[in-house]
């Protein structure tokens, strides 16, 4: 999972990036256009940590998330290279500035997160509209390499998207059949991607409400959490509590991102390895097996499944079995978030 931090210049993207990753990237300098900070970090998961303390495995493998911290979006600057990089993410984290500070200049002069978010979302609509129009022009001039029927369908779809975008609606609002999605996949439209909003709060402010409907708005005291991230893990919890931070930014953001992207985690366990795996919500047991190894999907016999909560409450896998809570499931079983799974297979 790759998440891209976007927003206006000096909204605090790099500050939030540091809070999420502990990367300690430089903040405050006006980031040059081509620069991207990248960091892969472990997905924090207290369930997996509990499994680790129980099994004391030789290998411990959490799921990972990659964060990309981009330079600020400047309306009207449609730099192709910049947007090629931005397009690669699975979802956006829109960082909006919600902290007052004399020391930090705001590109529009005043702090107004709702206006700033609208500016970025509008810019993304226009970037997509640009791409649609350019492609339609090429098709109009007959400059395409694809087969004629496919191009004809593509043209119809692009016309539909153009109408939506011109009316200020994102491409995600246009319902598409899987085959149509496939025709358009190479565009990687910005407005097709799920997003979250981080409202970057100052030291003690309450978040300013945003207009319109947004998937999830997560208030984060960016500067404070950046500093928390510099502390030793042991000290961090205590300091966080002192400041009234009940859950650290990294954990909240990943949780909401999983929800936005419709992803869930399941776990494999044993003395050899305790590991988290990511699958889309609705995945079957055989798909889950395939995430681990193609052999496990090919030779799939049964999945031994129990919910993490059942394991936690029972205290051990032995107790789970005795309580009759270790189920044998077939290939079509729909995996639940937090399932503990062992695949029985033969190849």
> Cβ closer to Mg ion: 21 or 31?
31
- By a kind-dependent CB cut-off of 5 to 8 A, residue 155 interacts, out of ligand GTP, Mg ion, none, with none
Concatenated DSSP letters of 221-288: -HHHHHHHHTS-HHHHHHHHHHTT-SS-HHHHHHHHHHHHTTEEEEEE-SSSEEEEEEEETT-BHHHH
Site residues, ligand GTP (CB under 6 A):
7, 9-15, 27-28, 30-31, 71-72, 99, 101, 104, 200, 202, 221-223
Residue 122 and residue 118: Cα distance in Å, rounded? 6
- By a kind-dependent CB cut-off of 5 to 8 A, residue 284 interacts, out of ligand GTP, Mg ion, none, with none
Residue 277 and residue 264: Cα distance in Å, rounded? 8
Four-point Cα dihedral 101, 102, 108, 109, nearest 10: 130
Binding-residue total with Mg ion (CB under 5 A)? 3
- By a kind-dependent CB cut-off of 5 to 8 A, residue 15 interacts, out of Mg ion, ligand GTP, none, with ligand GTP
Q: Does 14 bind Mg ion (CB under 5 A)?
A: yes
- Residue 23's DSSP bridge partners are none
Residues in Cβ contact with 80 at an 8 Å cutoff, skipping those fewer than 6 apart: none
> Cβ closer to Mg ion: 54 or 85?
85
Instruction: Write down the least CB distance from residue 103 to ligand GTP, Å.
Output: 7
Instruction: Write down the least CB distance from residue 95 to Mg ion, Å.
Output: 9
Instruction: Write down the least CB distance from residue 29 to Mg ion, Å.
Output: 8
Residue with tokens 């919910």: 307
Instruction: Write down the least CB distance from residue 95 to ligand GTP, Å.
Output: 6
Give me the half-sphere count of Cα atoms (radius 13 Å) on the Cβ side of residue 312: 12
> Cβ closer to ligand GTP: 28 or 315?
28
User: What's the Rg (C-alpha) of the chain?
Assistant: 23
- By a kind-dependent CB cut-off of 5 to 8 A, residue 193 interacts, out of ligand GTP, Mg ion, none, with none
> Cβ closer to ligand GTP: 105 or 235?
105
- By a kind-dependent CB cut-off of 5 to 8 A, residue 257 interacts, out of Mg ion, ligand GTP, none, with none
Q: Where on the chain is the footprint of Mg ion (CB under 5 A)?
A: 13-14, 31
């Amino acid at each position: 999972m790759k998440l891209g931090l976007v927003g206006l210049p000096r909204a605090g993207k790099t500050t939030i990036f540091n809070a999420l990753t502990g990367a300690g990237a430089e903040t405050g300098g006006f980031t040059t256009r081509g620069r991207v900070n990248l960091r892969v970090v472990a997905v924090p998961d207290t369930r997996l940590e509990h499994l680790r303390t129980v099994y004391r495995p030789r290998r411990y493998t959490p799921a990972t998330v990659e964060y990309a911290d981009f330079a600020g979006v400047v309306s009207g600057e449609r730099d192709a290279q910049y947007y090629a990089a931005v397009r690669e993410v699975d979802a956006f984290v829109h960082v909006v500035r919600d902290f007052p500070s004399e020391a930090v200049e705001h590109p529009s002069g005043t702090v107004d997160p709702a206006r700033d978010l609208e500016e970025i979302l509008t810019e993304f609509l226009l970037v997509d509209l640009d791409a649609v129009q350019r492609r339609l022009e090429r098709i109009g001039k007959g400059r395409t390499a694809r087969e004629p029927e496919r191009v004809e369908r593509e043209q119809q779809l692009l016309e539909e998207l153009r109408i939506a975008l011109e009316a200020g609606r994102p491409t995600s609002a246009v319902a598409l059949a899987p085959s149509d999605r496939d025709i358009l996949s190479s565009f990687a439209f910005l407005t097709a991607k799920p997003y979250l909003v981080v409202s970057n709060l100052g030291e003690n402010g309450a978040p300013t409400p945003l207009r319109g409907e947004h998937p999830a708005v997560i208030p984060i005291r960016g500067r404070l959490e950046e500093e928390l991230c510099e502390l030793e893990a042991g000290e961090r919890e205590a300091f966080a509590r002192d400041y009234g931070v009940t859950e650290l930014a990294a954990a909240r953001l990943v949780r909401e991102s999983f929800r936005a992207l419709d992803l869930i985690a399941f776990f494999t366990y044993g003395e050899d390895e305790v590991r988290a795996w990511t699958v889309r919500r609705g995945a079957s047991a055989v798909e889950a097996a395939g995430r681990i190894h193609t052999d496990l999907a090919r030779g799939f016999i049964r999945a031994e499944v129990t919910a993490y909560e059942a394991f936690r409450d029972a205290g051990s896998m032995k107790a789970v079995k005795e309580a009759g809570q270790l189920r044998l499931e077939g290939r079509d079983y729909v995996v639940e978030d937090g399932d503990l799974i062992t695949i029985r297979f033969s190849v």
